[in-house]
Amino acid sequence: MSENLGSLSDQQDQDRKTVLDIDHLKVTFATDGGDVYAVKDVSLEVKAGEVLAIVGESGSGKTVTAKTILGLLPETAVSSGAVLINGTNVISLSPGRLRQIRGRDVAMVFQEPSTALNPVFTVGWQIAEGIRAHAGANGGGRVSAKEAKARAIEALRKVGIPDPEHRVNYYPHQFSGGQKQRVVIAAALALNPGLIVADEPTTALDVTVQAEILELLRDLRDKYGTSIVLITHNMGVVADLADRVVVMYQGDVVEEATSKTLFAEPRQDYTRHLLAAVPHLGRNSASEGLTERRHQDEEVLVAADNLVIEYPGRLGTPAFKAVDGVSFTLSRGEVFGLVGESGSGKTTIGRAIAGLNRTTGGSLKVLGYEMLNLRERTFKPLRKDIGFVFQDPAASFNPQLTIGECIAEPMLIHTRPSEAQARKRVGELLESVQLPASYAGRYPHELSGGQRQRASLARALSLNPRLLIADEPTSALDVSVQAKVLELFRDIQEEFGFGCLFISHDLAVVDILSSWVGVLYKGKLVEQGIGSQVMGNPQHDYTRRLIASLPVPDPAEQAKRREEHRALLGT
């Protein structure tokens, strides 16, 4: 195995070799609405041992470009131009030849590790599948099952899975999310390809796990000289890993520069906007200079005392404690930021406050109403004082109703205004979230994601609620849209003065909005305090690890942070 890995010195000899060369690539999709030019004119190249990041917002064509490299486009797509991998043009290849190149010369790491692995086969089998598929074609003769397994074990060891001899027989569900992504990377590495295309490899992962995977990818480049094409929308990840960056916008390359230059002195306006929109921990903090908690003399809207929420287990298994002994209060006019990774129970708390989940222990008082053993009939009158903004703006509107009808819905249920009154109020609300009043007649799919989330905010505000729950309201949005929505959110909160529970996994976003921040970890509230103090001087181990893992969008600063936190992250 070690010979065909190639030692570091071998790789350095070929260091200037070009692994991937994309020349004037165009990709067009046939859709119901006519042709869509997803990629208009993209040229780029990747040298051996280099990490090239392609960044851009949704619809910029970055994923389509990546899929073209492996010939994975759907059949409605037509591409022209050239994609050369080690001198072979992928676009004009027959399916048979393409299959030989996949895995051997170029491999792919997908976004969602839990769906990229087949749940009914062991991970060892899945890694060996690639090895055995290529055995005959490469003139190497057949590979025995035993040898394939040995090579799978080797690949698992390379990506840092402990005890690979044993783990090779595990099924995907026996690994955690981060380990699954390691397995996917191991499968990509199995044939030692010169180039790996990683499409948002850390987007589905928590920040602490993301830091580990980024470390692993960096190792691959340093130890084995593997080139990586990294597709991402996260500027922090780019700053952490990339050598060179290509910025894409609406199918075109806007700017190409080394990562240091790009972050220090972006030349194009678009790049400058994009970088300015990225939330940066510690800048623009809502709790700047605060020394004590605000709004404590006002009415307490939510009071949780030793709150427990359990999900019933399946037959024979104990119930799962999603929230375990959490206590906090939320007063009128205050923004309480709730941070945590997936599975920490933050969404469960938000849903319990809105009466969508039942609490099972302790006490949760919402607007003075005890939520334990909630009865819908008695709680309903209070609902008009609670607004809720959902994560996915596309799914939280009924596709059959106009935006105006959706926004008027809470009014129709609680205050029954006349049609003219309702129309007037909808217009006012749309204006307060900076949308033209004429949008009331549009259907949800006719709005962009950011516009829909503004409309969602308008709906939540339509009855002037005292309490607003925002569950990851910006995580489905692009950064530039997110920046605008956050700004709007802050202005509206100051204007209306409602109390707000702001739930997010993104520390930097929470810091922009909330003065008081609580950190959840495995259902427990491990730390709460004034935002700038929690972020600047975390007390709990987990909070420290969380903040250390968050990559900042600045290569020099990130490199420094990485060194500082190496011990803490245990890498």
Partner 1 sequence: MTAETTLKPVANPRASFFRRLPVVSHFNKSVGLQRFMLVVGLVLTGIFLLTALAAPLLAPYGFAQLSDADGNFPTQQAPGGKHLLGTTVGGYDVLSRVIWGTQTALLVIIVAVVLSIFAGVILGLVSGYIGGWLDRILVVVADAIYAFPSLLVAIVMAIVISGGQSSLLGGILAAAISITVVFIPQYFRVIRAETIRLKAEPFVESAKVVGASNIRIMTRHIYRNATRTLPLIFTLNASESILTLAGLGFLGFGIEPSSAAEWGFDLNKALADTTSGIWWTGLFPGLAIVWTVLGLTLVGESINDLNDPRLRGRKRTGRKAAAAAPGTRAGSGPETELSNP
- Which positions touch partner 1 (CB under 8 A)? 26, 28-38, 40, 57-64, 67, 73-74, 76-78, 80, 249-251, 354-356, 380, 383-384, 386, 388, 390-392, 395-401, 409-410, 413-414, 434-436, 443, 445, 448-451, 459, 478, 480-481, 484
CB of 209 to partner 1, least distance (A): 22
DSSP 251: T
CB of 78 to partner 1, least distance (A): 5
Smaller CB separation from partner 1, 369 or 443:
443
Name the phi and psi angles at 315, rounded to 5.
Answer: -50, 125
The one-letter amino acid code at 82 reads A
CB of 202 to partner 1, least distance (A): 16
The full 3-state SS of 68-120, as one line of letters, equals HHCCCCCCCEEEEEEEEECCEECCCCCHHHHHHHECCCEEEECCCHHHHCCCC
Pairwise CA distance, residues 449 & 506, whole Å: 19
Smaller CB separation from partner 1, 148 or 435:
435
Tell which residue, 386, 496, 398, 381, has the closest CA to residue 455. 398
CB of 459 to partner 1, least distance (A): 8
Pairwise CA distance, residues 419 & 402, whole Å: 15
Smaller CB separation from partner 1, 192 or 402:
402
Smaller CB separation from partner 1, 60 or 474:
60
For 170-268, where are the E strands, in sequence order?
195-199, 227-232, 244-249, 252-258
Smaller CB separation from partner 1, 80 or 296:
80
Three-state secondary structure call for residue 224? helix
Q: At what angle do helices 145-158 and 123-135 cross, to 10 degrees?
A: 120
CB of 56 to partner 1, least distance (A): 10
Q: Is the separation of the CB atoms in 166 and 196 below 8 Å?
A: no
CB burial of residue 522 (10 Å; 0-12, 13-18, 19+): middle
Pairwise CA distance, residues 27 & 77, whole Å: 7
CB of 59 to partner 1, least distance (A): 3
Smaller CB separation from partner 1, 135 or 277:
277
CB of 397 to partner 1, least distance (A): 6
Smaller CB separation from partner 1, 466 or 562:
466
CB of 378 to partner 1, least distance (A): 12
CB of 495 to partner 1, least distance (A): 19
- C-alpha dihedral (236, 393, 486, 232), degrees to nearest 10: 10
Pairwise CA distance, residues 356 & 45, whole Å: 51
Smaller CB separation from partner 1, 137 or 356:
356
Task: Enter the tokens of residue 467.
Answer: 């309490």
Smaller CB separation from partner 1, 368 or 441:
441
Task: Enter the tokens of residue 476.
Answer: 């489905």
- C-alpha dihedral (220, 222, 225, 231), degrees to nearest 10: 60
Taking the CA atoms of 493, 494, 495 and 497 in sequence, report the sign of the dihedral they define: positive
Smaller CB separation from partner 1, 39 or 534:
39
Tell which residue, 189, 211, 206, 208, has the closest CA to residue 198. 189
Pairwise CA distance, residues 236 & 247, whole Å: 14
Smaller CB separation from partner 1, 391 or 558:
391
Pairwise CA distance, residues 509 & 202, whole Å: 18
Smaller CB separation from partner 1, 136 or 436:
436
Rg over CA atoms, the chain? 26
What end-to-end distance do the CA atoms of the chain give, in Å? 25
CB of 464 to partner 1, least distance (A): 14
Kind of pairing between the strands at 386-389 and 467-471: parallel
CB of 205 to partner 1, least distance (A): 18
CB of 70 to partner 1, least distance (A): 14
Angle value at C-alpha 121, between 195 and 203, nearest 5 degrees? 45
